[in-house]
Amino acid sequence: MNATQQLHELGQSLWLDNITRGLLTSGTLERYIRELSVTGLTSNPTIFEHAIGNSNFYDEAIREKSRSGKSGESLFFELALEDLTQAADLFRPVHDATGGIDGWVSLEVSPLLADDTAATIKAAAELHARAQRPNLFIKIPGTRAGIPAIEESIFAGVPVNVTLLFSREQYVAAAEAYMRGIERRMAAGLDLKVSSVASLFVSRWDVAVKDKAPEDLRNRLGIAIAMRTYTAYRDLLASPRWKKLAASGALPQRLLWASTGTKDPAASDTLYLEALAAPDTINTIPEKTLLAFADHGKAQHILPEEDDEAEALLVEFVRAGIDHAAFAIELQREGALAFAKSWSDLMDCIASKSAALAQNHPG
């Protein structure tokens, strides 16, 4: 049994943080499902920018859609939905076998909507309806404008992957939005089985403070924030409020570790997987990290439900002059801006490819 299978047995889902048409057409994703216990997949604007810009797998589809008058966001979402519905079908057996807990893929609303609640709600509903797959999450950022959009989307029956969470407080806000949506469905006599995950970004913390933290605290802040958030997650699942919803048939909003590829070349390439092994959670990882963990990772340490070490570590960071509460707000803002920049680059890439393909194959 390799390390990825050990995590699966522990109760942690491994999702691939990548999607390309090549992964689908080559059979590689099917192999990861079969051999490496991969049970889901996430995407974001940066992933699609790289997939479309750095390959010719999409050229024919772009050419055909451009000829039919499609461009920009409209063209992109057609490409993305083609990939993600195919991936969703590959994960459908897992989804069905787990009663909707696992086997998900994710598609993000336009990052340009991060500050627009009403437009986010509308886009989430439209994308979910277009996908026509029960195991496709719509990603909505856990920003100030995103929180009410999450509640409304859950109430409307749209499964949501809450993205861009960087702290316990941001996670709790997302979890409460999910529960409010479910509670409103209960009051309205609707089915409570509307799924959600809450994605906490980990490695970006350590990148942000690498030049500010003492050497003995290097690459430890992201894990400490994750440990603190995991305690809040377990506390929420044990709360009377959640138990009432669960008893009526609601599914838990699972905690997902995102941004878990190691950024520091001096650190272990499996650092965040080994540190964050925990039941009832998800770790979505880049392809390179997945293969490294399958090759030489170790699933030996299970994250405790409560950990005084995390709080002690956070005190050390405060003493070192690092205000993690302020950093969390800044990291979320920077993350939203980075996705918006990738979105702009993605639209430019599609436009330039469309023009080049039309010139090479006129008519």
Catalytic positions are: 139
Rg (CA), the chain: 20
Give the Cα separation of 13 and 4 in Å (integer).
9
Whether residue 295 contacts residue 273, with contact meaning beta carbons closer than 8 Å, is answered with no
Number of other residues whose CB lies within 10 A of the CB of residue 359? 8
Total residue length of the chain: 363
Give phi and psi for 220, each to the nearest 5.
-120, -15
**Closest to 140 measured CA to CA, from 131, 13, 127, 129:** 127
What three-state secondary structure class fits 201?
strand
Angle 146-155/117-131 helices, nearest 10 degrees?
Answer: 40
Name the residue with tokens 């970006």. 204
**Closest to 242 measured CA to CA, from 170, 191, 172, 310:** 172
Q: In b/e form, how buried is each residue of 64-96, taking b as 16+ CB within 10 angstroms?
A: ebbeeebeeeebbbbbbbebbbbbbebbeebbe
Contacting residues for 300 by C-beta, under 8 A, at least 6 apart: 274
Residue 199's DSSP bridge partners are 256
Helices (H), 113-266: 117-131, 146-155, 168-187, 203-208, 221-237, 240-247
